[in-house]
Structure 1
């Protein structure tokens, strides 16, 4: 092995660039010292002395790419890692979340950097233990994301060995896992509440309106600037009162302006209540460096005016103070309307009755959101808007105005309608599969799970394609199972044909006349011996009432032996009758009657065996 190790330099960036091209993994925000150590370790094991040679090796060996990606996040995944922290989450974090929500309100959770799924399933266990399994299925939705597609594929399987579950108490394993082929698989009914998808914390938008955000020991691999940006996104993603759960190697200041500690030692924090406007989106995070920025007022005015979101600011007295360019274009207001009372503008009642919401936000000092607002423009066409009404709090803690933002959600609504149409199509397919055979019920449950996951993907656009691919795989599995069922049915049909043929040959081979009756004395079977004896063909006799048969046998005289056979499964009787056979000869016929027994032993009819006596 070559002991020469490379010195830090631009070659490491070449390695990271190749990882991004090969796997889509962006490590530009990771702490450089840790990355260099891990790259050096891999090169040392392979005996490669320079970065250029290592990049060539990565191009030739896809397995080494996976090995390096796995080596970068050196944190080892596991179930319920750091048990004291999970106990604190269960005893403090989850109750704090439930106290902020109604008894039927949904709970949204994000596991950021979920790796191979252990953390996501640990969260499911934690919530199910607190709220109960039924409430968990109805209320909790867990979004689990990572940048490693191979890890996500393993997470979706939800199958783990004894080594991976060694930290889980046996009673929890018995309650939440099912034994399959030597592995433990997380319960299918609870798995439906977990959605896996790809998300890069540095580049992709966060999942929003969260009650709990879990990111354990991932921030430690990021440099200071990237870590600050990601924490800003986390603050934006959490709903008011939402909880942030970090790893034991990560911490926030004791007096963070945006997070209050629930359990600082166990890294549980809560989004701090504030009188300022709602948390800014990641694109609005500003890094203050302690220097004066010239022309800041002009910059703020220009940024407000050029914002792609239509915005209007109203003073505490109800006077329009600011209108940006997008609002002027959308609602045909102008700079001349600035300074006018809001009630005098058409905007006050179109597209919604805005004054009531502005007054409510001002008096209650809380943000409001109005969804599904349809706006019919004068130029033709309709837009769907989501209106955000936020109180503006001054330095003296008084309301100085109200900001109104009109977000265009037309494209998102169309996507939701398309997904709803897709859902209806899938439900129809599910109904057809269910009616085909009861044995496909398990597969249909998988399909219903896919439908439910598709409903949630309208909020996470990045994971839509992956969820649809999962659905296609399950449909292929369904088709394979249906083919197997059809093969089994064909085999059973062939076997039934063989049995029927065998019974037919038995009845045909008997020289005596055999007649099988149902409880209503209708003929079920009429063998060839009966045809030879009475001259009546089988197709003429079967289905007819015994007493209606026009044969030479006085059938009415058979009642004394037939009636008991229909009620007593142990009865057996016989009678001799004078009859006229098919040749017109008078003959003496011995008739033996026995019950036709069901599988459980009760009578299901009667069997008559008729034999001409030799005189």
Structure 2
């Protein structure tokens, strides 16, 4: 096949993914992208892009496997240690010194993968400020386009080989050993807000003091890099810092960023954005105000979702799990591999589908309340109240459902105890009634006996008088 035909077939493949799966890879460098596609196609023994397109169209979950092949999330804690040491000794102190004692610090990890980078940043500020002050002042945002990787970032749980590069004192101080691995400190983890973000298309964060985007820009074409850098410039405060990977160098036509340290790839703001730059981000409205409002709302709703005392899950129209709070992960023992499965195959999905058809629910679009659902586990029997609510867009389009699971086992135990006591009371009442009936019968018999005795006594008296009269 001619190179031109290959290019056309490959572009058709990319166009299909963009239109049908919302996976836009058109801005990625083609040689790198083709290598990633070829690796996946070789696993399936497929040679031509046309054939792979047909395979994608007939296998609805293949795009997820492809996504894993393309978005290779190679990350580790404090990757390229010298750069992190410089960040800790020079950049973090500058950021803290520029603030009032109670002024917030905002950090963005763009292209965060599975979260090692954002938690490394959090450790730096916790070490510099102290954990309590860090909890009060530092807010971190972790974004990526890979939803599975984001889920691990939200959970903050890593295998032993993923934390082996950490100093033992930091591992002991910031991680807790669990059955699944090492879990990052729960209180600090709540300072991280994770979200899906396309760096070239979506609105950036704002008022950021430190923006880390390491080994991500290198995969994009120069024009896409330029669009991303405009967003990064907008996101940073005037005295903010941009932290890139050691193999990345900015090549934008206009020097909107200036070097702070070339060895460790740390930049500061250079030239101001021009009107055209700002319009390329937001042609119709003032993005800064909208972004601040959006971030504020995102913080609120994510915090409310994550800290809810009840287990909550969100499922989209494709029957895929898109969100699970900490209570749900604990209740159903959800793991990262569960996110690649249809919801109906997961434990909570099976529990729900045994009592209500999700397909019918999507048609009716009405909330459903399931009461006192019995769930037999290895630890015993639980009882759950399950509330299923539809989630609509602003245009009243159904987006999916939100499920809330409330453990009412204690209530059920009380009810069962009350029912048992009631049955005991009923039996006692029945016994009392039987005893009363027996007593009534005995009383009647006694009265009849007394009457017989009185009659006998009268007869005896009559006989005695008769005998006296005869004598």
Question: What range describes the TM-score normalised by the shorter chain of this pair?
Answer: 0.5 to 0.7
- In structure 1, what is the Cα distance between the partners aligned to 2:41 and 2:188? 43
Deviations 1:186-211 (A, max 9, x none): 11111111001111011111111110
- Counterpart in 2 of 1:217? 215
- Corresponding residue number in structure 2 for 1:18: 16
Report the counterpart of residue 327 of structure 1 in structure 2.
none
1:331-350 pair list within 5 angstroms: none
- Equivalent in 106, 113, 117 of residue 115 of structure 1: 113
CA contact under 8 A between 1:117 and 1:154: conserved in structure 2? yes
- Residue 239 of structure 1: how far off its partner (Å): 0.4
Query: 1:91–1:37: structure 2 CA closer, same or farther, 3 Å change rule?
Result: same
Report the equivalent of 1:547.
Answer: none
Q: Tell whether 2:225 aligns with 1:227.
A: yes
| 8 A contact 2:239–2:269 mirrored in 1 | yes
* Larger gyration radius, structure 1 or structure 2: 1
Structure 2 counterparts to residues 445-524 of structure 1, below 5 A? 476=404, 479-480=406-407, 483-487=408-412
Task: Please tell me whether residue 239 in structure 1 is matched to residue 237 in structure 2.
Answer: yes
SS at match of 1:27: coil
In the alignment, which residue of structure 2 is the partner of 1:370?
none
How far does residue 85 in structure 1 lie from its aligned partner after superposition?
1.4
For the residue of structure 1 that corresponds to 2:263, the secondary structure is helix
Partner of 2:144: 146
CA separation of 1:52 and 1:206: change in aligned 2, threshold 3 A: same
The equivalent residue for 1:127 is: 125
Deviation per CA, 1:249-305: give whole Å up to 9, x if none: 102379984333332111111224x6x6x776844469xxxxxxxxxxxxxxxxxxx
Alignment of 1:175-574 (within 5 A): 175-252=173-250, 257-272=255-270, 282-284=277-279, 476=404, 479-480=406-407, 483-487=408-412
* Distance across 2 between alignment mates of 1:9 and 1:411: 38
**Offset of residue 484 of structure 1:** 3.4
Structure 1: gaps of 5 or more residues: 287-306, 310-405, 431-441, 447-463, 502-615
**Residues of 1 paired with 2:294 and 2:170: CA distance?**
43
Q: 2: distance between equivalents of 1:117 and 1:423?
A: 17
Q: Do 1:250 and 1:267's aligned partners in 2 also have CA atoms closer than 8 Å? A: yes
Cα RMSD of the aligned pairs, angstroms, is 4.3
Tell me the distance in 1 between the aligned counterparts of 2:117 and 2:107.
12
Contact 1:260 1:270 in 2 (8 A): yes
TM-score when normalising by structure 2: 0.61
Indicate conservation of the 8 Å contact 1:213/1:238, yes or no.
Answer: yes
- Runs of 4+ in structure 1 off by over 6 angstroms are 4-7, 253-256, 406-420, 422-426, 490-495
Change (3 A) 1:243 1:283: same
5+ residue gaps in structure 2?
310-325, 331-393, 426-471
Offset at 1:23?
3.6
- How many residues were matched structurally? 336
2:72 equivalent in structure 1: 74
Q: Which has the higher contact order (CA 8 A, sep 6+)?
A: 2
Counterpart of 1:568? none
**Structure-2 change in CA distance of 1:415 and 1:19 (3 Å):** closer
Q: Partner residue of 1:99? A: 97
> Any conservation in 1 of the 2:108–2:205 contact (CA below 8 Å)?
yes
- Any idea what the Cα deviations from partners look like across 1:2-52, whole Å, max 9, x if unmatched? xx9997411111222233245422111111111112212222332212111
Distance 1:41 1:414 in 2: 38
Q: CA deviation at 1:138?
A: 0.4
Q: Counterpart of 1:243 in 2: which secondary structure?
A: strand
Tell me if structure 1 keeps the 8 A contact 2:199–2:228: yes
Distance in 2 between residues matched to 1:416 and 1:116, nearest whole Å: 24
What's the CA shift for 1:125? 1.2
